[in-house]
Structure 1
């Protein structure tokens, strides 16, 4: 009897997940819930922690948990995900060690001008020091963002 093995095509998974997405890096010394609360006030969002999306990475037999906040804009068919990029000196995206949080905008509603406006509004948040758009090509560990 032969055993059929199925292999997950990670490249296709990454390509599908990141279709119609924008990614921004945020630098802030404040806690994730504080930054999200202020972004909610500034942008009229409702980012909330979603424990079912929490990302668990294991390195050197230790587990690290990265919080993910979520906001669904149903009228625009868009979703916003706000990732904590560090946990106990480990990074969700090690190539972005200078970034505290990652903001993923998913959906085809937002175009470049819209995203630029959102990032400009986010820069006005009191606890945010820097917001920068990220190029997907520069991110090596995209698979870590997939929940």
Structure 2
């Protein structure tokens, strides 16, 4: 009997997951539900906690849970995700320790200029201290964002 071993092509998985995606970094001392409530009010989104998307990382024999909130636009095939980058003293993306939240926009509908407008609108949201457009190609721990 021959045993077939399947190997996951992580590079292809990452490329497929981040295809047609934009990533925004947000610094805020607010809790995730407080920040998303403010974003929902000011940008007319509908972020909600999605427990099935929660990301669990295990480090030093401890598990860290990173909540993910999502919002599906009803008129096009765009999904928005808001990741919490902090859990106790650990980070989902350790290379971005100054960023508390990550807003990912997935779908073909938004162009770079549309995302820049969202970044500008986010700067006016109470409890947002810093907003920046991130280059997904420069993030080392991309696999941590894949659920």
TM-score normalised by length of structure 1: 0.98
- 2:144 aligns with 144
Deviations 1:46-100 (A, max 9, x none): 0000000000000111100000000001312111000000101100000000100
Deviations 1:90-120 (A, max 9, x none): 0000000010000000001000111011111
- 1:105 aligns with 105
1 CA distance for matches of 2:93 and 2:74?
28
2 CA distance for matches of 1:7 and 1:61?
26
- 1:19 aligns with 19
> What's the offset of the Cα at 1:2?
1.7
Find runs of 4+ consecutive structure 1 residues off by over 3 angstroms: none
1 CA distance for matches of 2:96 and 2:102?
9
2 CA distance for matches of 1:31 and 1:126?
13
- 2:132 aligns with 132
Mapped pair 1:70 → 2:81: no
Tell me the secondary structure at the aligned position of residue 75 of structure 2. Answer: helix
TM-score normalised by length of structure 2: 0.98
Mapped pair 1:40 → 2:46: no
RMSD of the alignment, in Å?
A: 0.6
Unaligned runs of 5+ in 2: none
